[in-house]
């Protein structure tokens, strides 16, 4: 009789224990689900933020280019000088349009060939501009600007350029970025050499166009790469090669 009672008590306790573990396990699962939803929500919020940044990133049509400036090339070669002192005067979009076209504008629509030559026509160079109203990427296709930031980052760029005054003073800073991977696909280890050469072509085109527009500029190579990359929001697949402050000479 006594052992029967013990048996019933044991079964009773076992049932309570099972019930307790079941409730506690389902509570844990529900906590985990809730936690993972919170994490998911957080990451969704981050994605939404990024997407909305990209969506609000304006695409701007640049003014049409005009090739009737008729400033002789040999005169531009003769007059080009590194200019480091600028007045505060802003540069209008017509001039910015011409400078970007000279840098990377498409001159043959069927092939996409550009003002500057490129090994294998792979175009590893991107051109960004910094103005008081933000940072923009030049899009050669359709001659457009893509706004990547609506903040004035020129002071940050000035810091990245080791406090070189022209970067702070210029109303416009052009940044030349290489993505070696685009050329590596075809040319392997020669890609770095080719892209660096191409940055030189792009830079010289900019400097000559700037001269022909009666503006001044200086090519700058001394800066902290990682800071420039971070300011623009790029990855380590990108290498900044030049910063070019542009403005009206003092
Ligand atoms: C690759 C490269 C990097 C340069 N980096 C700087 C720089 O960081 N700061 C600067 O004030 N000038 C820089 N310069 C400009 C040179 O100092 C300038 O071209 C040189 O003094 C010759 O003067 P010019 O350009 O008027 O002919 C650089 C030029 C080149 C080609």
If one compares 53 and 82, the residue with the highest pLDDT of the two is 82
**Which has the higher per-residue pLDDT, 57 or 113?**
113
Give residue 3's pLDDT.
52
Is residue 231 in contact with ligand 1, taking CB distance under 6 Å? no
- Examine the domain organization and report whether 8 and 90 are in the same domain: no
Closest protein CA for atom 21 of ligand 1: 82
Closest C-alpha residue for ligand 1 atom 17 = 82
Instruction: Determine whether the shortest distance from the Cβ of 105 to ligand 1 is under 6 A.
Output: no
Looking at the structure, tell me whether residues 11 and 84 fall in a common domain: no
Q: Does the beta carbon of 81 lie inside 6 Å of ligand 1? A: yes
Is residue 89 scored above 60 in pLDDT?
Answer: yes
Q: What is the pTM of this model?
A: 0.80
Write the CB contacts of 190 (distance below 8 Å, at least 6 apart in sequence).
119, 183
Which domain does 44 fall in, by range? 1-56
Calculate mean pLDDT across residues 140-146: 98
If one compares 223 and 29, the residue with the highest pLDDT of the two is: 223
Atom of ligand 1 nearest to the CA of 84: 11
Tokens of 196: 């660096």
Based on the fold, state whether residues 43 and 128 are members of the same structural domain: no
The answer to whether residues 12 and 97 belong to one domain is: no
Say how far apart CA 192 and CA 141 lie, in whole Å: 24
pLDDT at 203: 99
**1-5, 118-122, 126-130: least confident range:** 1-5
Which residue in 215, 216, 183 sits closest to 199, CA to CA?
183
Domain boundary among 56, 79, 94: 56
Q: Are residues 84 and 198 in the same domain?
A: yes
Q: Are residues 74 and 41 located together in one domain of the fold?
A: no
Mean of the pLDDT values across residues 111-126? 98
Ligand 1 and 77: CB distance under 6 A: no
For 2-17, b where at least 16 C-beta lie within 10 A, e where not — what string? eeeeeeeeeeeeeeee
* Residue range 173-221, pLDDT digits in tens: 999 999 999 999 999 999 999 999 999 999 999 999 999 999 999 999 9
* Residue 78 and residue 37 share a domain: no
Contact 135, 148 (CB under 8 A): yes
Q: Is the pLDDT of residue 70 over 60?
A: yes
| 87: helix, strand or coil | coil
Residue where a domain terminates, one of 41, 56, 71: 56
| Cβ(246) – ligand 1 distance below 6 Å | no
Q: Are residues 73 and 52 in the same domain?
A: no
Q: What is the pLDDT of residue 1?
A: 45
Residue nearest to atom 19 of ligand 1 (CA): 82
Tell me, yes or no, whether 134 and 202 share the same domain: yes
- Which pLDDT value is given to residue 143? 98
Is 208's C-beta closer than 6 angstroms to any atom of ligand 1? no
Residues forming beta bridges with residue 231, ordered by sequence position:
none
Same domain, 45 and 162: no
CA terminus-to-terminus distance, the chain: 111
User: What is the secondary structure of 201-242 as a DSSP string?
Assistant: HHHHHHHHHHHHTT-EE--B--S-HHHHHHHHT--TT-EEEE
> Do 42 and 133 reside in the same domain of the chain?
no
How much is the average pLDDT of 237-246?
98
How many domains does the chain contain in total? Answer: 2
Calculate mean pLDDT across residues 52-62: 70
pLDDT at 98: 98
Domain stop point among 26, 56, 86? 56
Task: State the CATH number of the domain containing residue 203.
Answer: 3.40.109.10
The Cβ of residue 227 has, within 10 Å, a number of other Cβ atoms equal to 16
Compute the 3-state secondary structure of the chain and give helix, strand, coil in percent, each to the nearest 5: 50, 20, 30
Q: pLDDT tens across 144-172, in order?
A: 999 999 999 999 999 999 999 999 999 99
Q: Is 32 in the pocket of ligand 1 (CB under 6 A)?
A: no
Q: Per-residue pLDDT for 10 more than 70?
A: no
What pLDDT is attached to residue 185?
A: 96
Distance CA 31, CA 37 (A): 10
The protein residue whose alpha carbon is closest to atom 2 in ligand 1 is: 221
List Cα–Cα distances, 35 to 22, 23, 30, 39, in angstroms.
20, 18, 8, 6
Residue 222 φ/ψ, nearest 5 degrees? -95, 100
> Are 133 and 112 within one domain?
yes
């Amino acid at each position: 009789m006594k052992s029967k009672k013990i048996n019933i008590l044991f079964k009773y306790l076992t049932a309570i224990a099972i019930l307790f573990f079941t409730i506690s396990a389902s509570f844990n699962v529900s906590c985990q689900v809730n936690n993972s939803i919170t994490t998911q929500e957080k990451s969704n919020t981050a994605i939404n933020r990024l997407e909305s940044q990209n969506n609000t990133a304006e695409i701007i049509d640049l003014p049409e280019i005009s090739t009737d400036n008729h400033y002789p090339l040999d005169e531009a070669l003769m007059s080009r000088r590194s200019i480091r002192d600028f007045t505060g005067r802003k540069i209008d979009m017509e001039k910015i349009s011409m400078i970007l076209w000279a840098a990377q504008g498409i001159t043959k629509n069927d092939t996409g060939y550009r003002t500057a030559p490129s090994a294998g026509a792979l175009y590893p160079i991107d051109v960004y501009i910094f103005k008081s109203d933000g940072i923009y990427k030049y899009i050669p296709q359709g001659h457009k600007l893509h706004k990547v930031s609506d903040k004035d980052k020129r002071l940050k760029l000035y810091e990245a350029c080791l406090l070189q005054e022209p970067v702070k003073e210029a109303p416009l800073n052009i940044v030349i970025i290489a993505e070696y991977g685009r050329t590596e696909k075809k040319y392997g280890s020669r890609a770095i050499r080719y892209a660096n050469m191409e940055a030189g072509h792009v830079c010289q085109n900019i400097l000559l166009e700037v001269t022909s527009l009666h503006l001044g500029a200086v090519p700058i190579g001394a800066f902290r790469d990682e800071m420039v990359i971070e300011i623009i929001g790029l990855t380590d697949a990108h290498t900044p090669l030049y910063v070019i402050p542009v403005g009206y000479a003092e």
